[in-house]
Amino acid sequence: MKDSELLKLLKDTESDRVERKASLSDKNKIAQAICAFANDIPNYNLPGVVLIGVNDDGSFSEIAITDKLLLDLADLKTNGNIYPFPMMTVQKRVLNDCELAVIIVYPSDYPPVRYKGRTWIRIGPRRGIATPEEERRLIEKRLTKDLPYDIHPLGASSITDLDLDLFTRIILPSFQPPEVIEENTRTIEEQLASLRFTTLDGIPTVLGILVTGINPRMLIPCSYVQFLRIDGEDITDPIISQKEIQGALPDLLRRLEEVLELNISVASDITSSSREIRSPDYPLQALQQLCRNAVLHRSYQGTNAPIRVYWYNDRIEIHSPGGPYGQVNRDNFGKPAITDYRNTNLAEAMKHLGYVQRFGYGLVLAKKVLAINGNPDLEFVVDDTNILVTIRKRV
């Protein structure tokens, strides 16, 4: 955006495409503004702008625009409070010899966008929470877009394929604050559509089936984990046990983590002070992070291959169908803060359900926990159709 455009917006105190903030003192209101511009309910199809360092009357507050301030603003995109991820840029600009921070927010292709479970919009001078009718308008907007695969409708399914009890007991309270649910007058069909679990016509999406389906594998054949415990160091060695772990997302991850925990061996060592030190051959937290990463980042389109967890005597291999995606490539795979999302809506669900604490840090955390436990560093083999992560046993 050119300086002349920014100056025009800065001076236009009547425009509903700009918000002015004298400082970074209220991040909540800045995040609400980002959410409202991303939803673009007036359908301008133009970016909205948040100016930091500008008073309500358009004069400059003359605050220092530091690198930390810019990083704090950029963190609003990925700190887990705004979903789906807004398309935005954060810049330091100089207008009329004064510094200011500029957040440029582009209309989302996948509304409604929410901040802490609430859908914020702006019409004229009003910035507030969307009414049910306004949310419905936002849902209708996304139907004209090129949708990501995880919110594609599954034409062979119906609402009877969804576990509505699971949705109302666990899923919905994870997505929305209690007071929002109490105030909610929408039907369960409208709630499902609002969270992208179904279309407005009531057809379940890939996301809806994965997260709250009664039998996800029947409709998405690849949506399970194949676990093999092998007595040896080669795929041809005898198999001790094998399982096909499946179910709606909360059940699948719970069952998978139970299997992982059962197969971990713990050695005990008595120190000179008679204190027992228990050391697992693999730390459970690292395995959890790596398996959740596989569920989140794998491709669910054009393949019937499951995630494979092969547990050998000297290592564990996790095979995830689908190669690197977006800005992630073979050269930067596994590096801190380098991440992208093939399944953005599934990422949102996993964050709300507590399986993701902070985006982009799953591998970093797994590496840290492995190092503390004494395991060698992770090994990666990345190709166009599969990612293999190898975890070596603690020596």
Among 28-42, 108-122, 268-282, 305-319, name the one with the lowest average pLDDT.
268-282
Higher-confidence position of 376 and 186:
376
- Enter the CATH code of domain 3-128: 3.30.950.30
The percentage of the chain sitting over the pLDDT mark of 70, rounded to a whole number, equals 96
Q: Does the reported pTM lie above 0.85? A: no
What type of residue is 209? I
Q: Which residue has the higher pLDDT, 287 or 134?
A: 287
pLDDT value for 26: 87
Under the banding of pLDDT at 50, 70 and 90, the label for residue 273 is low
The answer on pLDDT for 118 being more than 70 is yes
pLDDT given at position 136: 82
Q: How confident is the model at residue 271 (pLDDT cuts 50, 70, 90)?
A: low
The pLDDT of residue 177 is 79
The mean pLDDT of 172-182, rounded to a whole number, is 81
Per-residue pLDDT at 169 exceeds 70: yes
Q: Where are the domains of the chain?
A: 3-128, 147-218, 225-392
DSSP 62-131: -----HHHHHHHHHHHHSSSEESPPEEEEEEEEETTEEEEEEEEEPPSSPPPEETTEEEEEETTEEEEPP
Angstrom distances, CA of residue 277 to CA of 270, 274, 283, 371, 392 = 6, 10, 14, 17, 21
Q: What does the pLDDT read at residue 389?
A: 97
Count CA atoms closer than 13 A to 342's CA, side-chain side. 17
- Is the pLDDT at 251 greater than 70? The verdict is yes
Residue identified by tokens 């039907």 is: 187
| pLDDT at res. 14 | 75
pLDDT tens-digit series, residues 121-167: 988 767 899 988 888 888 877 765 667 899 999 988 999 999 999 99
314 CB neighbour count, 10 Å cutoff: 11
Most trustworthy range by pLDDT among 121-135, 217-231, 264-278, 318-332: 217-231
* pLDDT higher than 80, residue 266: yes
Give the torsion through C-alpha atoms of 250, 252, 254, 259, to 10 deg.
180
Q: Mean pLDDT, to the nearest integer, of 156-179? A: 92
Confidence of residue 272 (pLDDT cuts 50, 70, 90): low
- Which tens digit of pLDDT belongs to each residue from 69-108? 999 999 898 887 898 889 999 999 998 888 999 999 999 9
State the pLDDT at residue 144.
Answer: 54
Average pLDDT over residues 176-189: 79
With a pLDDT cut of 90, the percent of the chain lying above it is 62
Q: How confident is the model at residue 213 (pLDDT cuts 50, 70, 90)?
A: very high
User: DSSP class of residue 238?
Assistant: P
Q: Which two tokens stand for residue 316?
A: 């564990």
Q: Which amino acid is at 156?
A: A
What does the pLDDT read at residue 180? 73
Residues 388, 172: Cα–Cα separation, whole Å: 34
Question: Which CATH number is correct for 225-392, 3.40.630.30, 3.30.565.60, 3.10.20.30, 3.90.950.10?
Answer: 3.30.565.60
Taking the C-alpha atoms of residue 69 and residue 72, their distance in angstroms, rounded to an integer, is: 5
Q: pLDDT at residue 192 above 80? A: yes
**CA 219 from centre of chain:** 23
pLDDT value at residue 274: 59
Contacts of 127 (CB under 8 A, 6+ apart): 19, 32, 33, 36, 120, 121
Per-residue pLDDT for 379 more than 80? yes
